[in-house]
Amino acid sequence: MTPNLYDFSTLTGAIHEWLSGMMSPGWVTFTELVLIGLLFLLFFALLGLFLVYLERKVCAIIQNRVGPNRVGKWGLLQTIADLIKLLIKELIPIRKSDKFLFNLAPFIVIIASLMAMAALPFAKGLQAIDFNIGVFYVMAVSSLGVVGILLAGWSSNSKYSLIGAMRSGAQIVSYELSVGLSLLAIVVFSGSMQLSTIIESQADGWWLFKGHIPAFIAFIVFLIASTAEINRGPFDLAEAESELTAGFHTEYSGIKFAFFFLAEYINMFIVAAIAATVFLGGWMPLHIGNWEGFNQVMDFIPSIVWFFVKTFFIIYVIMWFKWTFPRLRIDQLLTLEWKYLLPVSLVNIVLIAFLVLMGWHF
């Protein structure tokens, strides 16, 4: 593997050096943490806004429209206007609701998605936390989000909310299994759960290609299951407009509602990033076998670009799903998981174990 030209660890290292030259180690850590925090805060907010904008544009183009184009160039500032509006919108207190839980719900949802985002490797050397259990950590943290949804639905004291919450509860927990199992497939292949190691193991080819058909099946299962887990169409039963008006966040207004909205998009980003990392090699450039020239050209593209290209490709696919398919019914949704995806991924794991055993993967 040729060394990557754009290694962020050199940059972060330099900053670290520079800071340590000025203050004591404790303060260095502190300053770094604050820096990371601010960066992430900014990134989180901007990313959410951008994803909302992107979704609008993608669906507009699919639907032969132009989408928002009157605020800023190409309507780029549209979501900022939305944010400003939502920020100064009245927050309606609901009578007879459990205020504490009602207010807690958006916190839980956002915390879950932000904590999960902490483990994403954005580029070489640009990863806030590199756990040796990375994949599992992301799963674990994102499984907390469902509590927020259940609380939101319950504490609103509204019928639509409650049905929406129950639905999404059953849905999210069910699909988490398939997500876990399809991630496990790659864990078996690469023999590690650390995201950075998984990426390293794809230096000579992405698991999607190296892993033969089972990896492909795992990828498809992951896409479907994670789409369902983040409550997006065609699995958006929790907020099925035509049945439950707005689902579990029916009673939320203003900025609290915005957080549910934001969390949905950030979660989409997270699953797309995980899919890109685990199946498509994360920030690894595309390398094909022995084509030295080609590989070198690919190396010139910065790793962060690779990461975002792949992630946004997956995001596009998820959006594509949403804007094409009708919504499933709750029982069909669970049937899909329990009778199709789960058995398929269980068998798939055995297949992969067999492959690995025989050493048939590259």
Partner 1 sequence: MNSISKYFKDMFGGISSLWAGMRVTGKYFVSPRAIVTQQYPENRATLKMEERFKGEIIMPHDENNLHACTGCGICEMNCPNGSIEIITNRVPNAEGKMERIIDKHIYHLSMCTFCGLCVKTCPSDALAFGQKFEHAVFDRSKLTKVLNQPGSSLRKEAKK
Partner 2 sequence: MSFNIIMFYLFSAIILVFSLLTITSRRILRAAVYLLFVLIATAGLYFLLEYQFMAAVQLTLYAGGIVVLIIFSILLTHHISHRFKHPDLTKMIMGIAVAVVGSALTIYTILTYPFPQTITVTELPATMENIGMQLLGVEKNGYVLPFELISILLLAAMVAAIIVAKKGNDKNAEI
Partner 3 sequence: MGIKIKSMKYEDFGDNESLELLNTLGDRVFMTTVDNLINWGRSNSVWPLTFATSCCGIEMMAAGASRHDFSRFGIEVYRASPRQADVIVVAGTIVNKMVPVLKRLYDQMPEPKYVIAMGACAVSGGPFFYNTYSVVRGVDHVIPVDVYIPGCPPRPEALLYGVMQLQRKIKGESFLKPGENANSIL
For partner 3, the binding residue among 91, 129, 213, 346 (CB under 8 A) is 91
Return the H-helix or E-strand segment holding 305: helix 303-322
The verdict on whether omega for the bond into residue 234 sits within 30 degrees of 0, i.e. cis, is: yes
Q: Which of residues 134-173 bind partner 2 (CB under 8 A)?
A: 136-137, 139-141, 143-144, 146-147, 150-151, 154-155, 157, 162, 165-166, 169, 173
Smallest distance from partner 1 to CB 90, Å = 23
Are 360 and 197 in contact by the 8 Å Cβ rule? The answer is: no
Report in angstroms how near the CB of residue 317 gets to partner 1 at its nearest: 9
Between CA 101 and CA 90 the distance in angstroms is 19
Q: Would you tell me the crossing angle of helices 212-229 and 159-190 to the nearest 10 degrees?
A: 160
Structure tokens at 331: 């029982």
- Each residue 291-320 as x (binds partner 1 by CB under 8 A) or -, in order, gives -----------------------------x
Smallest distance from partner 3 to CB 324, Å:
16
With CB under 5 to 8 Å by kind, the binding choice for 58 among partner 2, partner 3, partner 1, none is partner 1
Q: Does 65 bind partner 1 (CB under 8 A)?
A: yes
Q: Is the dihedral of CA 10, 14, 20, 23 positive or negative?
A: negative
| Residue 356 touches which member of partner 3, partner 2, partner 1, none, C-beta under 5-8 Å by kind | none
And the tokens for 352? Answer: 């992969």
Binding of residue 88 to partner 3 (CB under 8 A): yes
For residue 117, give the nearest of 244, 267, 220 by alpha carbon.
267
Nearer to partner 3 (CB atom), residue 74 or residue 313: 74
Contact predicate 279/208, CB 8 Å: yes
Nearer to partner 2, 80 or 118 (CB): 118
Residue 47 interacting with partner 1 (CB under 8 A): no
Q: Would you say 248 and 149 are in contact if contact means Cβ atoms under 8 Å apart?
A: yes
Q: Which residues contact 176 (CB under 8 A, 6 or more apart)?
A: 139, 143, 225, 229
Q: 190, 226, 227, 250: which one contacts partner 3 (CB under 8 A)?
A: 250
89: contact with partner 3 by CB under 8 A? yes
User: Residue 104 Cβ, how far from partner 2 at the closest point, in Å?
Assistant: 7
- Strand residue runs (E) in the chain: 121-123, 126-127
Q: DSSP 3-state helix, strand, coil percentages of the chain (rounded to 5)?
A: 70, 0, 25
Binding site residues, partner 2, CB under 8 A: 29, 96-98, 100-101, 104, 131-133, 136-137, 139-141, 143-144, 146-147, 150-151, 154-155, 157, 162, 165-166, 169, 173, 176, 192-194
Binding site residues, partner 3, CB under 8 A: 56, 60, 63-71, 75, 77-78, 80-92, 241, 245-246, 249-254, 257
Binding site residues, partner 1, CB under 8 A: 58, 61-66, 69, 320-321, 323-325, 340
